[in-house]
Structure 1
Amino acid sequence: MSPLLYRWGRTTALHPWRTLAGWLVVAACVFAAAATFGGSTQDDWNVPGAESQRGIELLRDHLPDAGNASANIVVHDDRPLAEPVLASLGERLQDVAHVARVSPPRVSDDGHTAVVHLAYDAEVTHPDLMGDVEPLEQAVEATRDAGYQVELGGDQPSTASAPIKGYGELIGVGAALLILLIAFGSAVVAGLPVLVAVAGLAAGSAGITLLAATTDVSTSAPMVASMVGLGVGIDYALLLVSRHAEFLAQGHAVEEAAGRSLATAGRSVVFASLTVLISLLGLGLAGLPTFSTFGWATAIAVVAVMLTALTLVPVLCRFAGRRVLARGLRRGQAPTARPLTARWAERVTRRPVLWALLGTTVMIALAAPVLDMRTWPQDDGSQTTEATTRRAYDLTAEAFGPGANGPITVVVDHATVSPSRVTAISGTLIGNDDLVSVSPAVTSPDGAVSVLTAEPAFGPADARTSDLVEDLRADLPAGVEVTGQTPLFADIAEMLSHRLWLVIGFVVAVSVVLLMLVFRSVVIPLKAAAMNLLSIGAAYGVMTAVFQWGWGASLLGIDHAAPVSSWVPILIFAILFGLSMDYEVFLLSRIREKWLDTGDPTGSVVHGLSASGKVITAAAAIMVVVFLGFASEGDLVVKMLGVGMATAVFLDATIVRMILVPATMTLLGRWNWWLPAWLDRALPQVDVEGGEPSLVPSR
């Protein structure tokens, strides 16, 4: 790979205008294909294999208006509600597109609150329904104008309750420019990586549009892809530019420096992107279509920014010439002091035991709250009070009890259970102390199913909900399905909690094998995996403390504690494990290069941290700001993703890379690079940045 990357880097630098024109032509073709053949994002919220899904399918087959999207219109006033007001509202709601049924208003005992339930004839992910509450807003406008408080709840309004505003990307780009300018003292080094990352991300977005033409791509997938693609794109370009500047400072011509930077740092970029891709593709093992599309969409973004970095960085470095160097180096001034990272590395390697114990203690302390972490999918009750869905949730709970926000639907399949047993099934439900009410059974027009609705004594996110669903399924005979949004959420929470370990096992195992190939060591990959898991565990712990315990939640605009969203742990693991391996490859490749050159285990650690520390620190700082930018969004799940990933990247770039890695590598010495002879013969020979610089071809 090294000679190929060297020739590619040197050729692109020698012919910058041709290369740039070629990239623009390819990009234009991709954009044209996306415009011509591309599709639109489309969510798929079905959960294959979940017990609740069977009940939902029965409802869709025999009672479509009971198994598709729904909405609750909550009307409240300080005085008893007038019946004509509710009747007029119901008539307007019946005219809303895709509304199949408008239930009679359910009025509270004091008459101050009413809930009108709407049933749609299509799934909530239908393009006409997903994220569009304007028809409902128009229907309730007259009621609001009459002075009544009207709030929208249910799964259809929830799809538009907290729209993504896109601040994360803007904050990330601005922060990247500022951080790089401060860290490297060059406007070119600051702007070039950002320009490359944005260009690659644009191409990746077109690729995601093409993906949407072949399969359902979640509406949230482009946001996740942008979050990761922007971060890794800046990382990859920054690594290449900084290595190019090193060779330039050593006296090499611009085109020679470009070739050498791709032959060395370019290999790091390739293998780092492979580790990210492995982690992302592990999302497919989660068992949910949404996660699979997250993985594929983000993988497209990563590949796009990686190829763009390998192509455009040499070109832009050729245009920039010696301006990639700091002003003092351009004037021929020698550095006045050793890098701070070198002095720090020497301090850690002098007392490795102390620093290893200190770093491990901090990480374990931060990870400790994870032992109390409880997961539950996001519902309306977890949103900010600025959202109409949250206000509808609170009004409903106050007027009818917390269980009114999480009713449980019981579907009796008469192909298995006789209609005569429906009364006994209703009696079983009434006898459950955790249920406060059970509706009379309703039989479908074709007589195939009967449906009962039960309200729990507690809200859907209550810790007792999963046990209630499990107990009901154990008490009811075969052929009776316990379904609805609340049981579906319970199934999702259980499924993802079990699948998390499958995803972790796959990603860790494949990543260890890849690192073993790259670094010819057994110890290095195992240690890297352990430290990455430690940083992710610490991120889980911080999320638990902030969101579930409520520590500092008000700073994020959250007014109450909530369980960690079930969607978050797997998604954070897949993304962060790949990003952590990015930094691992960047650092260890420089350490291994010096190790092969000198055979000095401690000196190679000091050199590697000195050479890559500034790049890793700057790249991580950018990532942290990008992720915190997403934490500013209104959606709780996006906030959790932002806080969790910012925490993990910060800890990984500071405590792990700057303390634990140099301390443990100093303690292990030559054992870092131990590989049994039989395994060395069995593994293919793969090199990242190891080897003498002289081995890089000069022409």
Structure 2
Amino acid sequence: MARLLGRLGGASAAHPWRTLLAWLLALVAAVGVAGVAGGDTHDDYSIPGIPFQVGTAYLADHFPELSGASARVVVHGDQAVPEPLLTELAARLKQLRGVAMVAPPRLSADGDTALIAVGYRIPVTDFAGSEGVDALRAAVGPAEKAGFTVALGGEVPENFSAPSGSAEAVGVIAALIILVAALGSLVAAGLPILVALMGLGVGTSLITLLAALTDVSSTAPTIASMVGLGVGIDYALFLVSRHVEGLRRGLSPREAAAEATATAGSSVLVAGLTVLVSLFGLNLSTLPVYASFAYATFATVGAVMIASITLVPAMLGLAGRRVLPRRERAGDPVSTAVRTGPTRTERWARWVGARPIRSALAALVVLLALAAPMLGMRTWPQDAGSQPESNTTRVAYDLVAEEYGPGANGPIVIALPAALVPAVTAALPGQAGVQAVAPPLVKGEAAVITLEPTTGPQDERTTDLVRRLRAELPEGVMVTGNVAGFGDISDRLAERLWIVVAFVVGLSLLLLTVLFRAPVVALKAAVMNLLSVAAAYGVITVVFQTDAGARLVGLPHGGPISSWVPILMFTVLFGLSMDYEVFLLSRIREDWLATGDARGSVVRGLAATGKVITSAAAIMVAVFVGFALDPDVTVKTTGVGMAAAVLIDATVVRMVLVPATMALLGRANWWLPGWLDRLLPATAHAAPAPERELVRR
């Protein structure tokens, strides 16, 4: 593989304009086809087999007006809300597309607030973009002009989040600054960003085309862009830094590009494949929305990976020696690269290598301390109670809680045969945690009862009430509604998390064992990646579940972690952590195979890659912090968690724990039993036969 990549890199560098033109044509074609044949994003929250889904299907059969999306309009003023205004507003709401019913206004005790519930016959996922919210906003316009505060709540407005548009810009600007500092050349710094953006353009177009064939979540392109932009810049940086090393040794631009693609390009390919393999784990969640995250991110990461190993060498060949700092271009490239002493990274690597036990224990204590809060993590799907106070859904949520009680924000719907109505209505008022029970709605042989709990949707006592109702009410009674559905989703994701973890870890172990022919190294990498992810879980628990932490990221108070985040973070982070592991191990293995010095190869490998790894991690952190500015709480939580994980991984893990443990294990790192050596295929990272004999001795 290394030889093939070397020839590819050399050919691209020798004919840069051809390669660049081919990519430009591919980009234009992808954007054009996506514009003509692409589809719109569409969320699919159906989860076959959960109790909520059974109740929803029952409502669809007997009460179609209650089975679709819902919205709530809250009108609030300094004085009593006039009845004519509410009558006119209800009439306008009835004319909106998909609306099946508009409930009579529910006035607060003092009459200054009115709550109007809107039921749709279509699911919330049938609205494209802001279509549903825009229609509601137009309908309530006259009430706002009359001087009343009107806030929108319920599924339709809560399901839409306007993109901030600033996340990518923040990440790109920060990445450019870091690259200039790391490489010392504006040309060299601009190459990774340009390549990543071109790969991202193709990947985004592929997502649009994918949306025409299957459901792609509205949040999936944002997550895919977050990951694609970060890994795209990192992969290109790995290649550029290795290319610069070649130029400093006196190689021609074409030779340096070929060598960089053969060496760093192999690591990029391995790292990218590990990310792609990890993404397959999302399909095991059994949630269609997660499958769309996997497909979208797969397309983007695949595009930027291919761009890195083809477009980077072409642009390096085109740039020539301009990727070197100006002071080096002015003199002898060899003499200017000579240093008078060890670099700071090399001194650090020697220090860790000389104190492996102390360093490993210190890193392990830090990681376990960061991970400890994870034990108190509570998950709950994102709802209006987690939004910033400026959001209309949060305004509606707070007004409803203040005027009608917290349980009014999360009514529980009970679907049942009409014959069971007397028994259920007699049992409900006596249940602990039930604030109010609405009169049953009967249609033929079916009935619906709505109750309001005494606690809000995010409160654990509300979830306990749902579980208790399901256990105690007669057989045939179905407890459904958004609150019950959110609880079912959280339970399903918690169950599937461990299956996803086992799949991703097992597949990554297999892949690394095949590629590095070192089962000890592969096992150690998996354990350390698990520690990185656990530490990131601990960080987001502290940030998002505490009031002080939540205010740091622009949220009014702490609350449960979005249920969507843990599995998504694990699959993506496990793959991203392998990027740095593969890049570091590849360099250590090169030195080990050349010298047979187990401990020295760790020091020299870390010294050679430490600066690049920290620069790449800084770029990834900057990109993820940019996405932490997104108004969507799920994206914000993912951005903060990934930024924390990459920072921890590139400092505590890669710069301390990995070299310390490898120095402790010595030659055992590369132990390979003979029977396994005969089974494993030869790869770019495998040693030639004589060197493999050295490894086994």
Q: Do they fold alike, i.e. is TM over 0.5?
A: yes
Deviation at 1:691, TM superposition (A): 6.7
Whether 2:287 is the aligned partner of 1:288: answer yes
Deviations 1:330-360 (A, max 9, x none): 2222344433211110111111111111111
Give 1:334's match in structure 2, choosing from 337, 340, 350. 337
Give 2:381's match in structure 1, choosing from 377, 383, 390. 377
Whether 2:237 is the aligned partner of 1:245: answer no
Question: Structure 2 matches for 1:497-508, cutoff 5 A?
Answer: 497-508=494-505
How far apart, CA to CA, are the structure 1 residues paired with 2:613 and 2:529?
A: 15
Deviation at 1:235, TM superposition (A): 0.9
**Residue of structure 2 in register with 1:644 after alignment:** 641
Paired AA for residue 366 in structure 1: L
1:133 counterpart SS class? helix
How far apart, CA to CA, are the structure 2 residues paired with 1:519 and 1:50?
A: 42
Deviation at 1:150, TM superposition (A): 1.2
Give 2:483's match in structure 1, choosing from 468, 486, 491. 486
**Residue of structure 1 in register with 2:568 after alignment:** 571
Structure 1 residues 86 and 317: CA distance shift in structure 2, 3 A: same
**Residue of structure 1 in register with 2:195 after alignment:** 196
Query: Quick check: 1:236–1:306 contact (8 Å CA) kept in 2?
Result: yes
**Residue of structure 1 in register with 2:169 after alignment:** 170
**Residue of structure 2 in register with 1:230 after alignment:** 229
How far apart, CA to CA, are the structure 1 residues paired with 2:129 and 2:451?
A: 27
Structure 1 residues 131 and 341: CA distance shift in structure 2, 3 A: farther
Does 298-307 or 466-475 show the bigger shift? Answer: 466-475
Question: Structure 2 matches for 1:409-420, cutoff 5 A?
Answer: 409-412=413-416, 414=417, 419-420=418-419
How far apart, CA to CA, are the structure 1 residues paired with 2:128 and 2:522?
A: 49
Whether 2:345 is the aligned partner of 1:346: answer no
1:40 counterpart SS class? coil
Give 1:605's match in structure 2, choosing from 602, 605, 612. 602
Deviations 1:440-460 (A, max 9, x none): 21123xx24211101111001
**Residue of structure 2 in register with 1:93 after alignment:** 93
Paired AA for residue 542 in structure 1: V
How far apart, CA to CA, are the structure 1 residues paired with 2:118 and 2:173?
A: 44
Query: Quick check: 2:248–2:337 contact (8 Å CA) kept in 1?
Result: no
2:547 counterpart SS class? coil
**Residue of structure 2 in register with 1:519 after alignment:** 516
Query: Quick check: 1:186–1:323 contact (8 Å CA) kept in 2?
Result: yes
2:450 counterpart SS class? strand
Give 2:453's match in structure 1, choosing from 442, 456, 480. 456
1:361 counterpart SS class? helix
Deviation at 1:205, TM superposition (A): 0.8
Query: Quick check: 2:515–2:686 contact (8 Å CA) kept in 1?
Result: no
How far apart, CA to CA, are the structure 2 residues paired with 1:231 and 1:548?
A: 27
Question: Structure 2 matches for 1:548-697, cutoff 5 A?
Answer: 548-688=545-685
The answer for unaligned runs of 5 or more in structure 2 is 692-697
Does 660-669 or 327-336 show the bigger shift? Answer: 327-336
Does 494-503 or 162-171 show the bigger shift? Answer: 162-171
**Residue of structure 2 in register with 1:697 after alignment:** none
Whether 2:109 is the aligned partner of 1:138: answer no
Deviation at 1:211, TM superposition (A): 0.9
**Residue of structure 1 in register with 2:266 after alignment:** 267
Structure 1 residues 25 and 80: CA distance shift in structure 2, 3 A: closer
Paired AA for residue 449 in structure 2: L
Whether 2:157 is the aligned partner of 1:157: answer yes
Query: Quick check: 1:131–1:157 contact (8 Å CA) kept in 2?
Result: no
How far apart, CA to CA, are the structure 1 residues paired with 2:337 and 2:240?
A: 20
Give 1:400's match in structure 2, choosing from 398, 401, 404. 404
Query: Quick check: 1:592–1:689 contact (8 Å CA) kept in 2?
Result: no
**Residue of structure 2 in register with 1:317 after alignment:** 316
How far apart, CA to CA, are the structure 2 residues paired with 1:289 and 1:255?
A: 46
How far apart, CA to CA, are the structure 1 residues paired with 2:272 and 2:61?
A: 45
Paired AA for residue 591 in structure 2: K
**Residue of structure 2 in register with 1:496 after alignment:** 493
Percent identity, aligned pairs only?
Answer: 54
Does 490-499 or 545-554 show the bigger shift? Answer: 545-554
Deviations 1:139-179 (A, max 9, x none): 1121122221211111101123x422121110111011100
2:124 counterpart SS class? coil
**Residue of structure 2 in register with 1:443 after alignment:** 442
Query: Quick check: 1:131–1:156 contact (8 Å CA) kept in 2?
Result: no
Deviations 1:571-630 (A, max 9, x none): 111111100001100000000000000011111111111111111111110111111111
How far apart, CA to CA, are the structure 2 residues paired with 1:532 and 1:384?
A: 33
Deviation at 1:97, TM superposition (A): 2.4
**Residue of structure 2 in register with 1:57 after alignment:** 57
Deviations 1:495-523 (A, max 9, x none): 10111111111000000111111111121
Query: Quick check: 2:105–2:116 contact (8 Å CA) kept in 1?
Result: yes
Paired AA for residue 518 in structure 2: S
Query: Quick check: 2:40–2:128 contact (8 Å CA) kept in 1?
Result: no
Query: Quick check: 1:596–1:691 contact (8 Å CA) kept in 2?
Result: no
Deviation at 1:690, TM superposition (A): 5.7
Give 1:466's match in structure 2, choosing from 459, 463, 466. 463
Query: Quick check: 2:397–2:409 contact (8 Å CA) kept in 1?
Result: yes
**Residue of structure 1 in register with 2:695 after alignment:** none
How far apart, CA to CA, are the structure 2 residues paired with 1:3 and 1:325?
A: 26
Query: Quick check: 1:268–1:689 contact (8 Å CA) kept in 2?
Result: no
2:566 counterpart SS class? helix
Query: Quick check: 1:590–1:689 contact (8 Å CA) kept in 2?
Result: no
Query: Quick check: 1:267–1:689 contact (8 Å CA) kept in 2?
Result: no
How far apart, CA to CA, are the structure 1 residues paired with 2:381 and 2:604?
A: 46
Deviation at 1:635, TM superposition (A): 1.9
Does 523-532 or 30-39 show the bigger shift? Answer: 30-39
Deviations 1:451-494 (A, max 9, x none): 11011110010012222111111112232211000000000010
2:347 counterpart SS class? helix
The answer for unaligned runs of 5 or more in structure 1 is 695-699
Deviations 1:110-164 (A, max 9, x none): 222210011112110113575641221121121122221211111101123x422
Question: Structure 2 matches for 1:20-59, cutoff 5 A?
Answer: 20-59=20-59
Paired AA for residue 289 in structure 2: T
How far apart, CA to CA, are the structure 1 residues paired with 2:539 and 2:550?
A: 11
Paired AA for residue 52 in structure 1: F
Does 636-645 or 323-332 show the bigger shift? Answer: 323-332
Give 2:360's match in structure 1, choosing from 356, 361, 378. 356
Structure 1 residues 443 and 433: CA distance shift in structure 2, 3 A: same
How far apart, CA to CA, are the structure 2 residues paired with 1:111 and 1:130?
A: 31
1:450 counterpart SS class? strand
Query: Quick check: 1:264–1:689 contact (8 Å CA) kept in 2?
Result: no
How far apart, CA to CA, are the structure 1 residues paired with 2:525 and 2:153?
A: 46
How far apart, CA to CA, are the structure 2 residues paired with 1:88 and 1:34?
A: 43
Query: Quick check: 1:271–1:688 contact (8 Å CA) kept in 2?
Result: no
**Could you say what the CA RMSD is over the residues aligned between the two structures, in angstroms?**
1.6
Deviations 1:72-109 (A, max 9, x none): 11111232222222222212222222222110011122
Paired AA for residue 231 in structure 2: V
How far apart, CA to CA, are the structure 2 residues paired with 1:421 and 1:21?
A: 71
Deviations 1:181-211 (A, max 9, x none): 0111111221000000000000111111111
**Residue of structure 2 in register with 1:212 after alignment:** 211
Deviations 1:377-410 (A, max 9, x none): 1111111110011111111111111110000101
How far apart, CA to CA, are the structure 2 residues paired with 1:115 and 1:510?
A: 52
Query: Quick check: 1:42–1:216 contact (8 Å CA) kept in 2?
Result: yes
Paired AA for residue 358 in structure 1: A
Paired AA for residue 607 in structure 1: R
How far apart, CA to CA, are the structure 1 residues paired with 2:468 and 2:401?
A: 24
